[in-house]
Structure 1
Amino acid sequence: MADSKHRLGPRAQRGSISLSGTQPTAPSLLSRLFAKKSVKPGEQFGAPGQGRSGLISFATISLLFSLWVLITATGWVPPLFLPSPQAVFDKFILVSTEGFANATLFEHTQTSLYRVFGAFALACVTAIPIGVMMGVSRVARGVFDPPIEFYRPLPPLAYLPMVIIWFGIGEFSKVYLIFLAIFAPMAISARSGVRSVSIEQIHAAYSMGATRMQVIRHVILKSALPEIFTGMRIGIGVGWTTLVAGEMVASTRGLGFMVLNAAEFLASDVVIMGVIVIGLFAFTFDLLMRYLERVLVPWKGKV
């Protein structure tokens, strides 16, 4: 009997086929609702960081904004140090229409975006190839690694005077300063991504007849893409940080210039408004990079 029951399979054991000759019984609605479902890999034991955090992020932002409203409404902090959200919004409308420091908010934003994304594009076409070369060639690593590692820990303000002496106070010096700040993390991330490629994948490609360039293009570059995207996200963040330093010298427009100029006149509402605008642009670009990473690197975390 045990052997025949085993041969009938799991459906017979669950009661859909009765060994006693009675009619099969369908599972009840309650049992279907609470039936165990298939789980994703790692879900049974709880993978680290698994699950969506959008609702938590929304609650955090709402709490911080409510705290800001409460502090300014009760007068715990004087408006000189922390203006109310309404005052910041009114200043946003005023600067957008009438301008601040001889330029509207759109003109300040356009100038800063040109500087940051111009430097970012220049870093993408130079830092990523150099980082890949450093990862695949010991000669390139010996040539580029010492200068990059030497200036990488230096703050941009440390070599800002030298950049001004070399290139003057024009537009190129500001873009070049931001470019230097972005270049190092992007190159190092690309090199780290290349060095993290599994040697088994490289050997498998060579065993199937791939050339060195084919291995670099189809194996190494694709495996290094997650690290490259991480370096791009870090680099653009450093670029926005360096923007304020770059617009300290002989600037007449720009978000960083607007914030610094407003701070000299104790216009804290303009300062906070400028900081919020910079943060929104940086956060939006980071979300775009995350989306591109999900589309272009769908295998990240799965292999």
Structure 2
Amino acid sequence: MIVLMIYVAIFVLAYIAYHFIVGKSVSNLGFNARKTVTFGDESAVTPNRSASVISIISIFVIWGAFTGSQISPIHVPGPFIGDTSFLYTATNAQNQTSDAKVFIRVSRVGEDAGIPETSDESQNGFARDDALKVAAWRSGLIRVQKNDEGGKEEGYRVTAINGHPIAPLQSVGVEDGVVNMTAKGSLSFVPYKGWQMEPIWLPAPEAIVTRLFEIIQDGYQGVALSENIGWSLFRVIVGFALGSLVGIPLGYAMGLNNWFRGWFDPIVEFMRPIPPLALIPLVIIWFGIWEQGKISLLFLAALWIMTISARAGVSGVNISKVHAAYSLGASKLQILLHVIIPNSLPEIFTGARVAMGVCWGTVVAAELVAAEKGAGKMIIAASKFQQTDIVIMGIILIGIIGFGIDILMRMAEKVLVPWKGKG
């Protein structure tokens, strides 16, 4: 919630700053400046590149701030690291009281820090100073009764922390953390965690980059990164191609023939809302867990989308163009080749972009179930060993590749369908 509020605040401040500082100087430039009406005109709304850059920078700044990144200029309060102590008061079986200190050393996760030394001062009571080492974001159990004289006798108990009374299942805040008492009377120290995320939950950006170069060089579990990504792309391309080869002709048939429309419409409309991931158990039963099953799942993921897009493309052809072609003596085949197909291609390319995105997300999920190679297999294998940096690295790569695929399809659409949006 805090991260979301910060991000929203950055968005609002950046929008206000751009509107009042830069917006006025560029508002009179470009084609939109010559339009009398822009609000509600979709053609007047284009991506603001400044907003895109600020958005990406904001995400990385927030990410770095909440992970203690070395490349981030700002940081939110992090966990307590260093030495601290607190005073406890114990009462023995004879109802006598004595004070002693617990010295605590908090180190970063993975660091081999030694146990702090106890006080050299002479202690006259039965309570004895104790020491503990604990990692940041963790807690440490302190059994002071094992160190105190008479601590194992019945009636011994800890009654106060830094002068504040404490009882089983209660807590007392100290300078650098919280002291909890268990149901059996033992003490537990939890150091101050701050606002930063523990690396096991969210590593810093530089840790992701370092891990990426390591896997590019050495691979992961004996498989190169390029091989994992290549297998995922291969499955997506084959499944999408098969789905298009069947779905586009089927969509044309449904858009041009009443019998085909009536026969296949219930099937298409029934299968369309079913998520591809829901079909994984059935596909495994029918085709197994190897390549045939994965490609069959991707085929089904693309089939219905391409069918609907081709059908919608036929339905969206301007009837006046069909009438004009007939008046010029065109045959049905000529109308199909020169009127229907060219005018339906924009809709088909839109469906193809959606289908590729669905296939790319589906293949990763399919590889989570059973695969020897693939981006999804790498992610699920890393999650089993709590290698969060590899998991996040894989997710980022999947997003970048998916975005790249969409850009390539947009470029192909501009080249192959230059008449889109021109009537």
TM-score normalised by L of structure 1: 0.83
Please name the residue that 2:157 is paired with.
Answer: none
Please name the residue that 2:62 is paired with.
Answer: 67
Picking from 235, 243, 246, the partner of 2:363 is 243
Contact 1:156/1:245 (8 A) holds in 2: no
Residue 58 in structure 1 maps to residue 53 in structure 2: yes
Structural mapping, 1:248-259, within 5 Å: 248-259=368-379
Please name the residue that 1:93 is paired with.
Answer: 213
* Aligned-residue offset at 1:145: 2.0
Partner SS for 1:302: coil
Partner SS for 2:342: helix
Change (3 A) 1:37 1:70: closer
Change (3 A) 1:298 1:69: same
* Aligned-residue offset at 1:41: 11
Partner SS for 1:72: coil
Distance 1:150 1:101 in 2: 41
Distance 2:285 2:45 in 1: 51
Partner SS for 1:87: helix
Residue 48 in structure 1 maps to residue 42 in structure 2: yes
* Aligned-residue offset at 1:149: 1.6
| Deviation string, structure 1 residues 127-185 (Cα, Å, up to 9, x no partner) | 11111111111122223222222122112232222211211222111111111111111
State the one-letter code of the partner of 1:58. Answer: V
State the one-letter code of the partner of 1:98. Answer: D
The structure where strand makes up a greater share of residues is 2
Residue 212 in structure 1 maps to residue 332 in structure 2: yes
Give the paired residue count: 268
RMSD: 2.1
Please name the residue that 1:151 is paired with.
Answer: 271
* Aligned-residue offset at 1:226: 1.1
Please name the residue that 1:23 is paired with.
Answer: none
State the one-letter code of the partner of 1:135. Answer: G
Please name the residue that 1:297 is paired with.
Answer: 417
Please name the residue that 2:298 is paired with.
Answer: 178
Partner SS for 1:269: helix
Change (3 A) 1:44 1:96: same
% identity of equivalent residues: 44
Distance 2:413 2:275 in 1: 29
Q: Which runs of 5+ in 2 are unaligned?
A: 1-27, 69-74, 79-195
Change (3 A) 1:38 1:51: closer
State the one-letter code of the partner of 2:231. Answer: T
Picking from 249, 272, 277, the partner of 2:397 is 277
* Aligned-residue offset at 1:66: 2.0
Q: Of the two structures, which has the highest relative contact order with CA contacts closer than 8 Å and spacing of 6 or more?
A: 1
Distance 1:117 1:127 in 2: 15
* Aligned-residue offset at 1:37: 10
| Deviation string, structure 1 residues 183-207 (Cα, Å, up to 9, x no partner) | 1111101111110111111111101
Distance 2:241 2:371 in 1: 22
Q: Which runs of 5+ in 1 are unaligned?
A: 1-35
Distance 1:40 1:295 in 2: 25
State the one-letter code of the partner of 2:331. Answer: T
The structure where helix makes up a greater share of residues is 1
| Deviation string, structure 1 residues 241-280 (Cα, Å, up to 9, x no partner) | 1112211333111001111111222111111100111111
